[in-house]
Structure 1
Amino acid sequence: MAEASAAGQQAVKVKSRLANIDALRGFVMVLMLLDHLRETWFVNYAVSDPINAATVIPAIGFARFAVSFCAPIFVALTGLGVYLFSMNHTVEETSSYLLKRGLLLVAIELFYLSPLYWGIVPQPTFWLQVIWAIGLSMIALSVLMRLPRPALIAFGLIIVCFHNLLDPVRLTPENPWFPLWAILYQRDVIALPFGFAAKTTYPLLPWLGVISLGYAIGNWFRPDFGTERRQRNLLILGFGMIAAFIVLRMLNVYGDKPWFVVEGDFVRTTISFISMTKYPPSLLFLLPTLGGGALLLVLFEKINDSRLVEALAVFGAAPMFFYLLHLTVLRVLYHSALAIWGPNNGNAYMFDNYHWVLLWYALMIVPLYIPTVWYARLKRRRRDIAWLKYF
């Protein structure tokens, strides 16, 4: 009886240790839907990077900060997930998985996600966005993971903390190094043959640091590490990063473009303080988002039996399926509206009020949840189908 009880307790610990990762991944996927709804139905309202707190609609300003957590947390969890995968696989198997999964993600970005936007933009463009960045980061991690853990941590910290020193380096298209630099750090447009273009929305370099650090903390999630010790480390990490963000942001000298006071408007001043550069992600963009992610991991582990965690874990158990599903549904809805009602803003069909975006956000979560549940259960039930693990 004692052995059975101990085994049961261990199973509960393993479940909570892994369910909180899926729940956090699901949390950022649900947040991501809000930003993609805005980019579909309200893209006529320009949002700069970082946003201009003096002119932005306040609701968009705060929503933009909320969705800022998505990409950093997801990339870090990708690194963490790779470490967990490596616990049951050899280095060669893990490296091979990373290489194949990375190439698949790059192909999905180029040949499926990018064409979803063709016919809207005047020039066929390959949008090198987050899936592209994650794919290349996984390919790079297939090599970086072979480094000793201290070296990998040092590599990640150097990139995350000091990449903003590269901000003044700007190359023009005439420079032979321009395409490589645009992919690595400079958000720009690369001209391609036959009238195509590539938009480097997610420059790669900072994400290499994030995925490396996500992999490096995987050791904390080993079964023998200890729950209290792991949670203590995550709390120290999370609060430490948020404190570092506040100090650096108050100093206003490094890590992002300066924030400013909007005279007589506390709300817009606050928006300015929390508005950071995402493309590429600045140090001050990464500190609160990754720090918040560490705190949420602890929270979701502590409430792992709640319905909230169970629901979020469904999204997190099938993130690529949900990502492709919701973007496809949004494009189908958009083109349907355009065909039925015609353009109402230039050549596009757009909402005239951000409140419609929020309403559609509330309405779409449940319809998207149902097929995601089906796919997550399919992945668990059919582990014999090898390709399912790549989605």
Structure 2
Amino acid sequence: MAGSVSIASGPFEAAAPARAAPAARVRLENIDALRGFVMVLMLLDHLRETWFAHIAVTDPIDAATILPAMGFARFAVSFCAPIFVALTGLGVYLFSINHTREETTAYLLKRGALLMALELVPLSVFYWGIVPQPTFWLQVIWAIGLSMIILAGLMRLPRPALITLGLAILCFHNLLDPIRLTPDDTLFPLWAMIHQRDTFALPFGFLAKTTYPILPWVGVIVLGFGIGPWFRSEVPAETRQRRLLLLGFGMIAAFVVLRLLNVYGDKPWFVVEGDPVRTVISFISLTKYPPSLLFLLPTLGGGALFLVLFERIRESGVVAALAVFGGAPMFFYILHLLVLRILYHSALAIWGPTHGTLFTLDNYNWVFVWYAAMIVPLYIPTVWYARLKRRRRDIAWLRYF
């Protein structure tokens, strides 16, 4: 990225100094590359939602019945949301280096509110006509926006207290799992948004689906903010990489130990007699809604390792290509959802429903075919937009997308 760098704050970027040192470009380009990597992975999941919606995906998935390809793909795309939210917290810290606390607070409040509005309209509307009743999906963009608003208050805590809070949420929020409210309870909508994935009614026949209950994601964004000092310009690359490697391998090791013990952090895994592949799928089948402790440990740990990898292979064209997606994440997010909705409704209009009221494909391999076919067509406009943002920094609204 010539001449300037982007500091990631979720789906938006905050302008860094106009002339960044080469070391800073290297330090921050790997963040863009990691964000781009998870955006590319996310496309696989949304293609599955578009063309294979007739196959129900439970949470966690049922290893005894799931198609093996879907089981492993589900695990791969599990890295997307945790890494993206953690990078949001990291990006906020990097933004705060060159801005006052008041400016950072205003940034978080405005961007967070805008993200929440975008999730309601137009992103939720993209799914109308696929689901039977108009629903406002409180998904990852909603969760990031609300987490940013909460972080605006929490970042005033001393860093040790902030990290302790993030770790406490990450490690112990599963203790709240037994608390289940029903629609008859007064606090049901609030609890559904905090920790219980559920659906509640809205006026005029609308529904709200809390796909991403907020509490665990607050812990993730807080921890992302907490490791921000590792990415300051005065921290040697070797020191940063050593810390990230210890963090990454430590979280993955903790996952393996806790998963083998099978006592806390997620629903138990099981051995599928005579089928080692499905046994492995059971081991890596983890609860995403809300994300369990065991869901977050390997995904966040893997994210730390990928940061090191991308920094070490920074000279390769792969990092630069992924950084393009990561430099314009909201543009890519809206673009790919819009394209998928157009393709879906076009297919439905031409060929009609193939499974109930849905148009679906009969073989999951078609998802991978579409995945390979869409990467380049989506990459071209994303490159154009990323370059436009860098070239026209005088147009403020371009930074929002």
Calculate the TM-score normalised by the size of structure 2: 0.94
Paired position in structure 2 for 1:129: 139
User: After superposition, where does 1:51-130 map in structure 2 within 5 Å?
Assistant: 51-130=61-140
Query: Which amino acid in the other structure matches residue 188 of structure 2?
Result: F
Query: Which amino acid in the other structure matches residue 148 of structure 2?
Result: M
Paired position in structure 1 for 2:181: 171
Paired position in structure 1 for 2:10: none
Query: Which amino acid in the other structure matches residue 273 of structure 2?
Result: E
Residue 33 (structure 2) pairs with residue 20 (structure 1): no
Residue 120 (structure 1) shift: 2.1
For residues 347 and 64 of structure 1, what CA distance do their matches in structure 2 show? 25
Paired position in structure 2 for 1:7: none
For residues 89 and 293 of structure 1, what CA distance do their matches in structure 2 show? 27
For residues 27 and 313 of structure 1, what CA distance do their matches in structure 2 show? 8
Paired position in structure 2 for 1:3: none
For residues 396 and 91 of structure 2, what CA distance do their matches in structure 1 show? 17
Paired position in structure 2 for 1:257: 267
For residues 151 and 213 of structure 1, what CA distance do their matches in structure 2 show? 11
For residues 304 and 227 of structure 1, what CA distance do their matches in structure 2 show? 13
Paired position in structure 2 for 1:232: 242
User: After superposition, where does 1:1-391 map in structure 2 within 5 Å?
Assistant: 11-391=21-401
Residue 387 (structure 1) shift: 1.8
Residue 28 (structure 1) shift: 0.1
Percent identity between matched residues is 77
Query: Which amino acid in the other structure matches residue 365 of structure 1?
Result: I
For residues 103 and 386 of structure 2, what CA distance do their matches in structure 1 show? 24
Residue 87 (structure 1) shift: 0.9
Higher helix share: 1
Cα deviation, 1:215-263, whole Å, max 9, x if unaligned, reads 1101000001111110000000000000000000000000000000000
Query: Which amino acid in the other structure matches residue 169 of structure 1?
Result: I
1:126 partner SS:
strand
1:388 partner SS:
helix
Residue 379 (structure 1) shift: 1.1
Calculate the TM-score normalised by the size of structure 1: 0.97
- Structure 1, unpaired ranges of 5+: 1-9
Q: 119-128 or 369-378, which moves further after superposition?
A: 119-128
Residue 348 (structure 1) shift: 1.0
Moved over 4 A (4+): none
Residue 12 (structure 1) shift: 2.9
- Structure 2, unpaired ranges of 5+: 1-19
